[in-house]
Chains A and B, each alone.
Chain A
């Protein structure tokens, strides 16, 4: 004796938010039922475990049907298969709509959109701990195969890992060939909220350049740290950053700029220039910090480090090591000298500005463009 078939279809699709999250988190039906039982929904509604199981399976099926649409969010808006109810919880939109004198038709549209918004967010949302594991890795089948390790390490179910990974891959595939600003493209194609779109842009950017993020020395950095840095790089170092021409792409770094960076080497190769630079910085710093001596002693070392990073960026291979280089060549020395982030900020500000005063140094534009990003990245990364 068994239930062979059990379906429930409403004219308006009923979606339980709690179950949706469980599904997203990759719980099996049985595990989800357990969680729900613990949540006390049974006592609340005089239901039995059987009823709960039936409901959960039904919800999971609905989500699976929805999933196909969620992969192409642009289709979601005018799909006909699901008549999705206004989210009763989204009262704020309703109140807003009333206040706007929207008549009920508009209300429906807005509520519908809200619902889509929310389900999309949830679907495309990811776990920081997961993304930290795959950040900078090639979004390939090989990486996907290793997801079970990631799953064990992070404690996130394999199903959920796969969904998140597939989301990254899907977004990557779509925007890879698109022209125009990266974040905007993601926002429009996947109807994602701004912040989430930025995060995806960072993931795509990291995956494209295969930045190394997994080394032990980088473990202390969070995804948000990297996402911030990626934002800086996208906004300043890509082709799209300088001239906002439509045909340019946001995903790749500006080759010309990278080429020009080689010219900065003069700051460390020219002995006079190096000394002059050091003097200017030291003069400016003197008396403003209590780690002045360490800064003075380390100046040449640090400067060499930063300029060498710049000079190497023309090689794609070295681009990958950008973050590890920053940590090894700058952050670690500073940290061992016990510089506070205020000290670092002070140092970098004067280091950048002083170069402009050097008479023989001509590459001001490149220097500003380079140091602006380096400074904000280092400051973001300078924590425990």
Chain B
């Protein structure tokens, strides 16, 4: 019994009217955890009940604490009939179990009903007391921190990166159980929601156990997914990267900043850290610490091996040879042997040298080989024994093995930016995994030189001390260590890791354009983010390849076969499209590549998204050359040259737009192992003679060989068409699907996260080309809409544009996008000027209220012309707006003072602190006086950072799953109205839960699932949404500066401060 969960129900507000007669509600609350339920009293006849309950205490195992959510149900008391449920709140108490995360959940949380949506809010307080001996319990893994962020979280330092962790749990889907025929949709939805909550809790706990076994204390890049397999069940699976993290304690503002957390929390933190044995939180030299960790924790074989490791000369690691160029082949032999050995061991088979991270501390990533991916088509069958999900495990194992062998073929020992996904249609399931083969730094590795490589997977890989802070001179130190002599950090990762004489795929190698020492490929595709230290010319842009392929309807084995046969073609074509589009933009590398293949009954959809950039280290890409097969025909020739001209123009235009002006370099001829390019160049030249436009372009494209498209087959025509239909991004906009855009640094604080969903209905009997065009237009139009919507943020960049495609039913294509728009200043000076201006303003304050009010009125008067000027302009006197505002501001100022004096969690504390005038009268003054403070702004972003701000605390993972159903679709505004409301509600609930944890932002936010089903004939629709992210507290950098400059003004700062947008 190592934990006590305490919950207190304070109040409710905006409850729906449940009694038509009185227009009021007699509400009470049930608080349930596990099998224990408590009830509050009935608060009669009010839409804003004040329960102010006692503390309900649940004494539970920590295992349950991790698995179960706290379930709060608000009901309407009915004397004669059954009590009506108003709605529910599920609270994930996991953040409270970790000493470094949140300590209390307190605030207004939306009451949610799967049929009616949000129905009012409830104010709750939740706390957990954990007993100190918690780590002796093997079944629980309290204290392991989870991060969705795919980099080392800011404000932490990685002591060790242990490696890949994965787990999956399966269950029957309540929606498909027999009982579903007799129960209400609400009951069914709630059963599903609860089950998924339970399953994710269990999954997280199991992964936590694995992490503890490995000696880590955190999971970074945690990616949890659901497979709704329908009849055959429900699979919840997760992957992540186990790490040992240490909090950067020297953060300057934590001490001085009064608002980052309540004082009690601050005191608790260090204490807790010490109390938890085996979680190496204390700083110090990493080596002994690690040994300690393992000796206390290692029952498994791999650990005992690990602990026997000895310090070895760093220069002896195989990578040294790698760095000296061209000698990689020597390692390939023994490496392969070792890897084989490894695969033989059943225990080790479970472990993979995979990393879900996409951003690495400088110096960690040495070389990148290229994208590796594997797919397999499976037929689903009922999961007979949920406790032993062997089939699913075996499927994934197969795929991971394949990925591993691909990486090996590329001469790489690790896979980074690794992710897994599925697409299910009826009984067919496509499992996909992809990542980037890479060689990681082994410089702090203590194993023997030969052991290193094959043990990467299961053992702490390295120790580095970067955290979010970029460590200058890091590479310098690595150079001094003697294993990457004088490699500039900007190009090192581009150097090929594989053997030049034994290239696994046709590629053209040249000497690196930066250091001129090592070989680089002509193009580089990766799934990771652009390394911050990379040398990039110009800016990047989003590049998408889109493909639709029809397929015959089939059943079972035959269907799976047909899909398997189609897949390679699909991938090949996607690849070609990507390559063409990359060249069209004059770029030579792709980052963040994500290929999604979605299966439907009569078609397959492929969508590849990536961010193209021009890596300075790589050779300039050749142009695109169109070659016809029948050159005798003059009109045909003309047609081709026209097209060629168009393409060349586009390339020139793109180069201008993305500011790609690589420095001219003298071409060095390198013996290319492939003779083909020479032929290509010949073709190119012959053509350039025939067309004078080309000769001009010829120069700008350098002496590289052009990429030849033969136009005689229809595919090529289609390709060219697809190339040219991509409309350019409008002025002022940039887009990428990675975290940051090269060449843009001066972000402003204005960010806007958004989700956009479109469903497109197709006509029957479309050809492949027709389908392609429609799909491509759909994506293009969606992007155009986004640009238009966000036009007020220009200049801005859409970052982390994450497209998800699905085929919800036959003839429907669904595209969902989640991204963040961040505006930036054209010139750095602007921002500085503004900030200093702000400061002076704040310095030049005056507390004279009257004077201020006068000021306002003056301003209002001068700038309050009717902003519309339409003939039917309303008759409101807008100047009176000033009165209104001034009185508001009076109130707000008062409140602001209270806030400053009070705690950060303004909402709850404010509400509680003030006497509740409910009974007094219907006067609204009391209500209004709350108004401002109760709506704290919570920022959301899919990125791991917030521009212009510093994340000072991670409060825990947010992982929420909601189902919404309606049987009055038309009344709710049709499908669009229904989904719009639902997504807005999901956002509201995420924000409320984050605010209740004391946070003011969600980073690494993603909508992982958005399954929408409709039946317009029955006026019904259902939608499932799964979102996740990391709740954080951030502080504006400007405020940090202020605190250091003016310590006396620090008291007026609050961590909740965010400037709106």
What is the interface of chain A, defined by CB distance below 8 A to chain B? 1-14, 17-18, 21, 24-25, 44-48, 50-52, 54-55, 57-58, 61-62, 64-65, 74-83, 85-86, 88-89, 91-93, 95-114, 117-118, 121-122, 125-128, 131, 156, 178, 188-189, 191-196, 199, 223-224
B754 x A105 contact (CB < 8 A)? no
A21 x B987 contact (CB < 8 A)? no
B880 x A195 contact (CB < 8 A)? yes
CA distance A366 to B752 in the complex (A): 63
B935 x A80 contact (CB < 8 A)? yes
Judged by a CB distance under 8 angstroms, whether B716 is at the interface is no
B784 x A51 contact (CB < 8 A)? yes
Q: Are A85 and B924 CB-contacts (below 8 A) given A1-B760, A64-B977? A: no
Give chain B residues whose Cβ lies under 8 Å from the Cβ of A105.
Answer: 896, 899, 936, 1054, 1056-1058
Nearest Cβ on chain B to A203's Cβ, whole angstroms: 11
Nearest Cβ on chain B to A354's Cβ, whole angstroms: 38
Give chain A residues whose Cβ lies under 8 Å from the Cβ of B977.
Answer: 61, 64
Judged by a CB distance under 8 angstroms, whether B1018 is at the interface is no
B789 x A55 contact (CB < 8 A)? yes
CA distance A12 to B752 in the complex (A): 7
A96 x B881 contact (CB < 8 A)? no
Nearest Cβ on chain B to A223's Cβ, whole angstroms: 7
Nearest Cβ on chain B to A82's Cβ, whole angstroms: 7
Judged by a CB distance under 8 angstroms, whether B136 is at the interface is no
Beta-carbon contacts under 8 Å, B736-775 to A? 752-763, 774
Beta-carbon contacts under 8 Å, B848-871 to A? 852, 855-856, 859-860, 863, 867-868, 870
Q: Kindly report which residue of chain B lies nearest to residue A174, judged by CB atoms.
A: B922
Q: Are A11 and B754 CB-contacts (below 8 A) given A86-B1059, A99-B855, A109-B892? A: yes
Give chain B residues whose Cβ lies under 8 Å from the Cβ of A74.
Answer: 924, 927-928
B812 x A1 contact (CB < 8 A)? no
Give chain B residues whose Cβ lies under 8 Å from the Cβ of A131.
Answer: 875
A110 x B980 contact (CB < 8 A)? no
Judged by a CB distance under 8 angstroms, whether B888 is at the interface is yes
A194 x B883 contact (CB < 8 A)? yes
Nearest Cβ on chain B to A63's Cβ, whole angstroms: 11
Q: Kindly report which residue of chain B lies nearest to residue A2, judged by CB atoms.
A: B761
A52 x B788 contact (CB < 8 A)? yes
CA distance A160 to B410 in the complex (A): 67
Q: Are A99 and B992 CB-contacts (below 8 A) given A11-B753, A195-B880? A: no
Give chain A residues whose Cβ lies under 8 Å from the Cβ of B473.
Answer: none
Q: Are A77 and B1060 CB-contacts (below 8 A) given A64-B977, A101-B845? A: no
Most A C-beta atoms less than 10 A away, residue of B876, B893, B985: B876
10 A-B residue pairs with Cβ-Cβ distance under 8 Å, sorted by A, are A3-B761, A58-B980, A61-B976, A61-B977, A64-B977, A80-B110, A96-B852, A189-B924, A193-B883, A196-B877
Interface of B is mostly: mixed
By the criterion of a CB under 8 Å from any partner CB, how many residues of chain B are at the interface? 110
Nearest Cβ on chain A to B849's Cβ, whole angstroms: 9
A77 x B759 contact (CB < 8 A)? no
Judged by a CB distance under 8 angstroms, whether B939 is at the interface is yes
B939 x A11 contact (CB < 8 A)? yes
Q: Kindly report which residue of chain A lies nearest to residue B933, judged by CB atoms.
A: A109
- Proximity bits, B923-937, A CB within 8 Å = 1, else 0: 111011011111111
CA distance A103 to B845 in the complex (A): 11
Closest 9 CB pairs of A and B: A125-B874, A77-B931, A101-B845, A104-B1057, A86-B1060, A109-B932, A5-B759, A78-B934, A195-B880
Q: Are A14 and B892 CB-contacts (below 8 A) given A61-B976, A64-B977, A125-B876? A: no
Nearest Cβ on chain B to A18's Cβ, whole angstroms: 8
B1060 x A107 contact (CB < 8 A)? yes
Q: Kindly report which residue of chain A lies nearest to residue B886, judged by CB atoms.
A: A96
Q: Are A103 and B1054 CB-contacts (below 8 A) given A9-B980, A12-B1060? A: yes
CA distance A81 to B988 in the complex (A): 5
Q: Are A100 and B752 CB-contacts (below 8 A) given A7-B976, A55-B785, A109-B932? A: no
Give chain B residues whose Cβ lies under 8 Å from the Cβ of A17.
Answer: 867-868
Give chain A residues whose Cβ lies under 8 Å from the Cβ of B925.
Answer: 188
CA distance A44 to B730 in the complex (A): 10
Give chain A residues whose Cβ lies under 8 Å from the Cβ of B788.
Answer: 45, 47, 51-52, 55
Give chain B residues whose Cβ lies under 8 Å from the Cβ of A104.
Answer: 1036, 1039, 1057-1059
Judged by a CB distance under 8 angstroms, whether B792 is at the interface is yes
Q: Kindly report which residue of chain B lies nearest to residue A187, judged by CB atoms.
A: B884
Q: Kindly report which residue of chain B lies nearest to residue A129, judged by CB atoms.
A: B872
A122 x B874 contact (CB < 8 A)? yes
Q: Are A4 and B756 CB-contacts (below 8 A) given A61-B977, A74-B927? A: no
B860 x A110 contact (CB < 8 A)? no
CA distance A83 to B991 in the complex (A): 9
Judged by a CB distance under 8 angstroms, whether B593 is at the interface is no
Give chain B residues whose Cβ lies under 8 Å from the Cβ of A9.
Answer: 754-756, 980, 983-984, 987
Judged by a CB distance under 8 angstroms, whether B281 is at the interface is no
Judged by a CB distance under 8 angstroms, whether B1052 is at the interface is yes
Nearest Cβ on chain B to A173's Cβ, whole angstroms: 12
B1060 x A188 contact (CB < 8 A)? no
Nearest Cβ on chain B to A132's Cβ, whole angstroms: 10
Give chain A residues whose Cβ lies under 8 Å from the Cβ of B888.
Answer: 110, 113, 117
CA distance A36 to B560 in the complex (A): 50
Nearest Cβ on chain B to A224's Cβ, whole angstroms: 8
B838 x A110 contact (CB < 8 A)? no
A46 x B730 contact (CB < 8 A)? yes
Q: A80-B118, A112-B1060 given. 4 additional CB < 8 A pairs?
A: A2-B760, A10-B789, A45-B787, A108-B937
Judged by a CB distance under 8 angstroms, whether B666 is at the interface is no
A98 x B841 contact (CB < 8 A)? yes
Judged by a CB distance under 8 angstroms, whether B1012 is at the interface is yes
Give chain B residues whose Cβ lies under 8 Å from the Cβ of A114.
Answer: 885
Nearest Cβ on chain B to A194's Cβ, whole angstroms: 5
CA distance A299 to B792 in the complex (A): 67
Give chain A residues whose Cβ lies under 8 Å from the Cβ of B860.
Answer: 92
B791 x A1 contact (CB < 8 A)? no
Q: Kindly report which residue of chain A lies nearest to residue B14, judged by CB atoms.
A: A75
A11 x B889 contact (CB < 8 A)? no
B1054 x A7 contact (CB < 8 A)? no
B1060 x A108 contact (CB < 8 A)? yes
Partner of A178, one of B847, B922, B988, B1036: B922
Q: Kindly report which residue of chain A lies nearest to residue B847, judged by CB atoms.
A: A101
Q: Kindly report which residue of chain A lies nearest to residue B931, judged by CB atoms.
A: A77
CA distance A62 to B985 in the complex (A): 13
CA distance A237 to B774 in the complex (A): 70
Judged by a CB distance under 8 angstroms, whether B979 is at the interface is yes
A100 x B852 contact (CB < 8 A)? yes
CA distance A216 to B166 in the complex (A): 83
Q: Kindly report which residue of chain A lies nearest to residue B821, judged by CB atoms.
A: A10
B758 x A3 contact (CB < 8 A)? yes
Nearest Cβ on chain A to B367's Cβ, whole angstroms: 38
Nearest Cβ on chain A to B373's Cβ, whole angstroms: 31
Judged by a CB distance under 8 angstroms, whether B975 is at the interface is yes
Nearest Cβ on chain B to A122's Cβ, whole angstroms: 7
Judged by a CB distance under 8 angstroms, whether B1061 is at the interface is yes
Partner of B759, one of A4, A8, A64, A193: A4
A83 x B987 contact (CB < 8 A)? yes
B875 x A127 contact (CB < 8 A)? yes
CA distance A10 to B937 in the complex (A): 13
A45 x B730 contact (CB < 8 A)? yes
Nearest Cβ on chain A to B806's Cβ, whole angstroms: 12
Q: Kindly report which residue of chain B lies nearest to residue A227, judged by CB atoms.
A: B875
Q: Are A14 and B863 CB-contacts (below 8 A) given A80-B992, A86-B1059? A: no
CA distance A156 to B875 in the complex (A): 14
Q: Are A113 and B931 CB-contacts (below 8 A) given A80-B108, A95-B859? A: yes
B979 x A5 contact (CB < 8 A)? yes
CA distance A117 to B973 in the complex (A): 26
Nearest Cβ on chain A to B760's Cβ, whole angstroms: 6
B763 x A1 contact (CB < 8 A)? yes
CA distance A104 to B1042 in the complex (A): 12
- Proximity bits, B694-713, A CB within 8 Å = 1, else 0: 00000000000000000000
- Proximity bits, B960-985, A CB within 8 Å = 1, else 0: 00000000000001011101110111
